[in-house]
């Protein structure tokens, strides 16, 4: 990645974690500047310790499914690096089997499963626009839990 802020944050992280692996991903939550900033804020507050992704959009070497121990640099809405998170748990479940506990860990809205389903159904439908896939209740969801291990 050529993003200077990502490289600088990673180097700062490696100074305090010299055994850090060379491999990491850099990405932002959501699909807009506003959502990236809002969700990052929840992460930095400690309210958001999980995220959900459409399993069907992963694939190949360029976009592997996260695994426990993976490190990611989280970007704000301006694509500036702000924090490093470590994946602590991964579960892949059908959309309609995501639990109330997981919805709470996502930290969004009122943290209820009803809110989670409404927001994520809309989000996954938007992601699938223009593909040959359609949203359905059995859509596999990557439920990823994480912890912040470094921040600016």
Residues 122, 30, 90: CA angle, nearest 5 degrees? 90
* Average pLDDT rounded to a whole number, residues 54-79: 89
Match 């969801």 to its residue by tokens. Answer: 141
Kindly indicate the confidence band of residue 58, based on its pLDDT and cuts at 50, 70 and 90. Answer: confident
Buried b / exposed e along 100-112 (16+ C-beta atoms within 10 A)? eebbbbbbbeeee
Residue 70, domain extent = 4-151
* Average pLDDT rounded to a whole number, residues 94-116: 98
Q: Does the pLDDT value for residue 23 go beyond 80?
A: yes
**36 contacts 122 by C-beta, under 8 angstroms:** no
The count of structural domains within the chain is 1
**28 contacts 41 by C-beta, under 8 angstroms:** no
Mean pLDDT of the chain: 94
Walk across the sheet containing 25-27 and list its strands. 25-27, 71-75, 81-94, 140-151, 50-54
* Average pLDDT rounded to a whole number, residues 28-48: 96
Q: Does the pLDDT value for residue 1 go beyond 90?
A: no
The whole-number pLDDT of residue 22 equals 87
The whole-number pLDDT of residue 60 equals 62
The whole-number pLDDT of residue 143 equals 98
Among the residue ranges 9-18, 36-45, 56-65, the one predicted with the least confidence is 56-65
Q: Which two tokens stand for residue 64?
A: 């592997």
The whole-number pLDDT of residue 109 equals 96
The whole-number pLDDT of residue 62 equals 62
Q: Distance (Å, rounded) from C-alpha 4 to C-alpha 23?
A: 16
| CATH code where residue 128 lies | 3.10.400.10
The whole-number pLDDT of residue 122 equals 96
The fraction of the chain above a pLDDT of 90, given in percent, is 88
The whole-number pLDDT of residue 103 equals 98
């Amino acid at each position: 990645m050529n993003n200077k802020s990502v490289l600088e944050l990673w180097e700062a992280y490696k100074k305090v974690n010299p055994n850090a692996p060379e491999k990491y991903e850099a990405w932002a939550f959501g699909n807009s500047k506003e959502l990236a900033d809002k969700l990052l804020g929840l992460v930095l507050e400690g309210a958001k310790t999980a995220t959900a992704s459409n399993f069907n959009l992963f694939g190949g070497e360029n976009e592997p499914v996260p695994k426990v121990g993976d490190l990611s640099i989280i970007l704000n809405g301006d694509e500036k690096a702000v924090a490093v998170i470590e994946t602590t748990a991964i579960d892949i479940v059908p959309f309609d089997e995501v639990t109330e506990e997981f919805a709470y860990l996502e930290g969004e809205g009122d943290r209820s499963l009803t809110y989670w389903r409404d927001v994520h159904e809309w989000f996954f439908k938007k992601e699938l626009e223009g593909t040959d896939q359609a949203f359905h209740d059995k859509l596999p969801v990557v439920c990823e839990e994480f912890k912040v291990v470094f921040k600016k």
